[in-house]
Amino acid sequence: MTTYTGDILLQDTGDGDFDMLFENCQPDMTNGLETYVFLAVFGEDWWGNGIVKKESEKMKSTFPAVIRRNVVSDKTKNDGIKALEKAMEGAKTEKIAKSINVTGEIQTANRIAWQIDIEKPDGENEGYLINWNTWDVANLERIY
């Protein structure tokens, strides 16, 4: 019998979709916050909201609407920061995170990167980078 801890790890397929990977019929798991961050950031109208009772556990991100504008500007960068901060509020409410800091940087005329730094209640830190450009979907990767 296998005991699972953490969450099922969602993996970026490289074409805008995410998938679960299985080995010997067992899903890859994570002890980090990758899956939570993914659902919080991209969970615009996530189907799970219909079964979640606590408002703080619902995923209602406005970040996807920000990047659908397909415009690189200070407004898009700053609106992205605000949307990511709001999307991650539930992590503090649910005591998954002690603090969250979101920054953004325009890297080229077609690219913005946002970074989410999370301090967990046990003092550990996790960081996530969202790279987005005007011709591709945004991808999320854990950077520490």
What's the pLDDT score for residue 94?
87
pLDDT-derived band of residue 1, with 50, 70 and 90 as boundaries? very low
**23 pLDDT above the threshold of 50:** yes
Separation CA 54–CA 97 (nearest Å) = 17
Of 27, 24, 22, 25, residue with least CA distance to 8: 27
Separation CA 104–CA 129 (nearest Å) = 10
Report how many domains make up the chain.
Answer: 1
Residue at 90 is within a domain:
yes
Domain that holds residue 29: 7-142
* Averaged pLDDT for residues 32-50: 83
Residue at 109 is within a domain:
yes
**114 pLDDT above the threshold of 90:** yes
Q: Are 59 and 49 in contact (CB under 8 A)?
A: yes
Residue at 1 is within a domain:
no
Q: What is the CATH number of the domain that holds 18?
A: 3.10.450
Residue at 63 is within a domain:
yes
Distances (CA, A) of 24 to 8, 29, 51, 116: 15, 13, 30, 33
Residue at 70 is within a domain:
yes
> Residue 3: is it exposed, middle or buried by C-beta count within 10 angstroms (0-12/13-18/19+)?
exposed
Residue at 131 is within a domain:
yes
Of 1, 2, 10, 48, residue with least CA distance to 29: 10
What's the pLDDT score for residue 52?
83
pLDDT tens across 128-140, in order?
999 999 988 888 8
Higher pLDDT, 22 or 124: 124
pLDDT tens across 63-107, in order?
999 999 999 999 999 999 999 999 999 999 989 899 999 999 999
